Structure 1
């Protein structure tokens, strides 16, 4: 026997089987209560944020943040290389005219 707890005001549902809390999917017990109460839409408490369109936006923002950090790190690296070049140490030119690292000064 399972118990479904329903808060009409906040439209929150919990079941003693704990499937929603464990897997993020409403159980058949909650669905039976929704049908019995003639509720035609899932409440927000039954839809996890990771299963919404907002999750995709959040993922894109996280990817953009990571890309921005990588650009900043690349810019720092270029600046550091420029400082090494200005000091006269760090890079040499090979036969093809490409820059190559040199041994550090002792």
Structure 2
């Protein structure tokens, strides 16, 4: 009478983890897609948009290499078109790229 119910109908931890990973992947993809349509990006969105890690982007900001805005001195924002221009700067010719 004091027996516990069997848990055969409940999913195991590994299947739950796999589903959570799939959901997180979909969320990341949707965030990237949303950032493509926005004109002004926050720091996290700029990382997703450019494919740079947060530490790489901070390093470029410290070197004043990436165009950005700090309207109140704390939060960092980016203009998507300016990021596109920056990403496409320093174009290399096909011959130079093949030599590398």
TM-score greater than 0.5 by the shorter chain: no
TM-score for both structures, normalised by structure 1: 0.32
TM-score for both structures, normalised by structure 2: 0.34
Relative to its length, the structure with more helix (as a share) is 2
The structure with the larger Rg is 1
Larger RCO: 1 or 2 (CA < 8 Å, sep 6+): 2
